[in-house]
Amino acid sequence: MSRLSEIIRRDLRLALRQGSDSVMVVTFFVLTVVLFPFGLGPETNLLERTSAGVLWVTALLASMLSLDRLFLADYEDGSLELLALTPTALELLVIGKVVAHWLTTGLPLMVAAPVLAVLLHMHADGFGTLLLTMLLGTPTLSLIGAMGAALVLGARRGGVLLSLLVLPLYVPVLILGVGAIDAAVQGLPADGLLLMLGGFLLGALPLAPWAAAAALRQALE
């Protein structure tokens, strides 16, 4: 367990000192969402109707931006070999890296989302659900993304391959997230969709690190 906190602390420290990834992800998120009112026109109804979809699609793309760096830096400087030789399950270290990734990308997205929802005239009833879907959905994105990032390690043009691998797997999160917000805005119960989103997270929590660790071992051979 202390090894888990050790790797989370290291990755957070690296992210804070390098700073680029977090800032890049949030900047991309904000800038892209801000483009929509320009593209769709200032019509409040239209923006309101599309707000949940716009926010979630942009969040998906933003969280993908930082994925290819997740294991690549460690792979290139030899740290990954040593991590694989740590006397503990590699899966645990993958979880540590995913937690750090979520704290530096998913969490800032979650914080920025309500502000941007105001810009898109989202109905006030949707805000609570928006935050909840982000809370349940963004960790799933980091988990699935880690699996993809581990699989493309060492491949040329890994970034393109990564989006091909990961985006289809993001679709259920997108559908459930947007569905829950729309339901809440229309005054319908969103519990079922939120529970499914939570179920997705619980499913990804053991499966994604397991698959990612297997892919990392393969990449190191």
Q: Which is nearer to another protein, 14 or 131 (CB)?
A: 14
69 binds another protein (CB under 8 A): no
Query: Least distance (Å) from another protein to the CB of residue 148?
Result: 23
220 binds another protein (CB under 8 A): yes
Q: Which is nearer to another protein, 17 or 157 (CB)?
A: 17
C-alpha 178/C-alpha 159 separation (Å) is 26
Contacts of residue 170, defined as CB under 8 A and 6 or more positions apart, other chains included, come to 60, 64, 141, 144
C-alpha 172/C-alpha 176 separation (Å) is 6
155 binds another protein (CB under 8 A): no
C-alpha 109/C-alpha 27 separation (Å) is 10
Q: Which two tokens stand for residue 83?
A: 């991590």
Interface residue with another protein among 31, 35, 82, 118 (CB under 8 A) is 82
What's the length of the chain? 221
Query: Least distance (Å) from another protein to the CB of residue 81?
Result: 6
Answer whether 71's CB lies under 8 Å from 216's CB. Answer: yes
Query: Least distance (Å) from another protein to the CB of residue 76?
Result: 8
Tokens 């530096």 belong to 104
Q: Cα separations (Å) of 21 from 81, 120, 196, 199, 203?
A: 23, 25, 30, 28, 27
Residue 112: DSSP 8-state: H
Interface residue with another protein among 42, 85, 157, 187 (CB under 8 A) is 85
214 binds another protein (CB under 8 A): no
Query: Least distance (Å) from another protein to the CB of residue 196?
Result: 36
C-alpha 31/C-alpha 58 separation (Å) is 10
What residues from 4 to 63 belong to the interface with another protein (CB under 8 A)?
6-7, 10, 13-14, 17-18
Q: How many residues bind another protein (CB under 8 A)?
A: 24
Q: Which is nearer to another protein, 42 or 78 (CB)?
A: 78
77 binds another protein (CB under 8 A): yes
Contacts of residue 99, defined as CB under 8 A and 6 or more positions apart, other chains included, come to 4, 8
Q: Which is nearer to another protein, 13 or 206 (CB)?
A: 13
Q: Which is nearer to another protein, 29 or 75 (CB)?
A: 75
> Which residues bind to another protein, rule: CB under 8 A?
2-3, 6-7, 10, 13-14, 17-18, 76-79, 81-89, 220-221
